[in-house]
Structure 1
Amino acid sequence: MEQAAAEVRERVQASFDRQGLMSHLGARIAHIGPGEVHIVLPSRPEVTQQHGYFHAGATSSIADSAGGYAAFTLFPEGTSVLTVEFKINLLAPAEGDRLEAVGTVIKPGRTLTICRLEVFAVTPAHRTLVAAGQQTLIQIESRPEH
């Protein structure tokens, strides 16, 4: 997998590290490439629902962030990213050792960027697609991040 330039990886990682929700969930970035970001979420009771599957909220959250940061890898310095909308289909119960969300830019733009979202449940023996979707993001002037 191709890596993004070092300065892009640093900018994406620094922004990700300021996201309270991703920290709360225990998610981490596993790959930052040009137009593609992978986010991993280990299984733990705090991110599951009543049947022991990963909660749809956790699944959707890491998908949203993976797509957002995939778009952000292509944005110029001095800009930021916000989600305009996203749609996700839950395809199968999300169970495994971890989830891996993959955000991939399918249509970059000066203002709006479209991404494909995929989430896989991962075990030592299998990698199963459990969610798929699409997202629209907007490029904005950089604003202070907390």
Structure 2
Amino acid sequence: MTDAEARIRASFARQSMMQTLGAELGEVGEGRVTITAPILPGALQQHGAGHAGLTFSIGDSAAGYAALTTLPQSAEVMTVEMKINLMSPATGDRLVAEGRVIRAGRRITVVAADVWAETDGTRKHIAMLQGTMIAV
């Protein structure tokens, strides 16, 4: 495990929101991060699908950590803005957010994430996010 990956895993472990959602940090690579989360009964909206807040939370975090992989060890990131397109209900066993860097700058990094709903190994693309992270 690289120092950068260890730093990201330690940071993720400190996020109580991700713990509340049952989220787990998956792959960490240069400019790419995957986060998964079960669709728990406490994260449903009124129609029985996963709440958009769950989708947004793991997509935003995956994109933010992807940005962090491109920054110096002393840096952190925060979201400046994030847009989400919800394309399909979040139904299934779990969500998978794949964050990636579109363009890394010294201060501002443009990021994106795709979120998939999985059931029995079958994936459905449910959301796309695009945003900007700032190094702090």
TM-score of the pair, normalised by structure 2: 0.97
Q: Which runs of 5+ in 2 are unaligned?
A: none
Q: CA deviation at 1:47?
A: 1.2
- Within the candidate set 95, 98, 104, 2:100 is matched to 104
Asked if residue 121 in structure 1 is aligned to residue 95 in structure 2, the reply is: no
CA distance in 2, matches of 1:24, 1:11: 21
- Within the candidate set 15, 20, 24, 1:19 is matched to 15
In structure 2, what residue type is equivalent to 1:137?
Answer: M
Asked if residue 41 in structure 1 is aligned to residue 37 in structure 2, the reply is: yes
- Percent of residue pairs bearing the same amino acid type: 47
SS in 1 for 2:91: coil
CA distance in 2, matches of 1:17, 1:75: 19
CA distance in 2, matches of 1:54, 1:69: 23
CA distance in 1, matches of 2:45, 2:4: 35
Q: Deviations over 1:33-75 (max 9, x none)?
A: 1100000001210111122111000110000000000000111
1:1-146 superposed matches below 5 A: 6-140=2-136
C-alpha RMSD of matched pairs (Å): 0.9
Q: 1:47 to 1:107 in 2, by over 3 A?
A: same
Q: Which runs of 5+ in 1 are unaligned?
A: 141-146
Q: CA deviation at 1:125?
A: 4.4
TM-score of the pair, normalised by structure 1: 0.90
CA distance in 2, matches of 1:58, 1:92: 14
Q: Deviations over 1:98-142 (max 9, x none)?
A: 0001110010100000111110001124211100020100011xx
SS in 2 for 1:64: helix
